[in-house]
Structure 1
Amino acid sequence: MAKKAFALRLDPAVHAAVERLAADELRSANAQIEMLLREALDRRGISVAKSKPARRGRPPKDD
């Protein structure tokens, strides 16, 4: 799963609140922002499909 990177400017107070919430829920601030965006979209009736998780580990050996 490839993620799109972009700059996000936040009010420092909002950023601090997101970091506190993320720490309480054992997430990174980035994951917390993504979760909050998904929840907001869902409340507005916009469904976003979950992407397949990234493959982990070494690729299989060719025989």
Structure 2
Amino acid sequence: MPAPAKKAFALRLDPALFAAIERLAAAELRSANAEIEILLREALGRRGVSFKPSEQPKRGRPRAESGGGA
């Protein structure tokens, strides 16, 4: 089953604001895109806006199953 796509759109930001987001993202070891998403989720939560996050497939390599192995 294909992974649900994220909505892509152009976002125009003040360069100083984007630089601040990039610094914050680097400190948190995230991309600027991921940092913007987190900031938006936090802002919505503070305003009392709730939403059900989309189900996203897990990324990366599956964990090794316990119980022996090679």
Q: TM-score, normalised by structure 1?
A: 0.81
The number of aligned residues is 57
Of the three residues 1, 5, 8, the one matched with 1:2 is 5
Q: Which aligned pairs between 1:1-63 and structure 2 lie closer than 5 A? A: 1-54=4-57
Q: What are the ranges of 5 or more consecutive residues in structure 1 without an aligned counterpart? A: 58-63
| Displacement after TM superposition at 1:54 (Å) | 2.6
2: distance between equivalents of 1:47 and 1:55?
Answer: 23
Higher CA-based Rg: 2
CA deviations 1:1-53 (Å, max 9, x no partner) are: 31000000000000000000000001100000000001000000001222111
Q: CA RMSD in A?
A: 1.6
Q: What are the ranges of 5 or more consecutive residues in structure 2 without an aligned counterpart? A: 61-70
1: distance between equivalents of 2:26 and 2:59?
Answer: 25
Judged with a 3 Å threshold, the aligned counterparts in structure 2 of structure 1 residues 25 and 56 are, in CA distance, closer, same or farther, namely closer
Q: TM-score, normalised by structure 2?
A: 0.73
Q: Which runs of 4+ in 1 moved over 6 A?
A: none
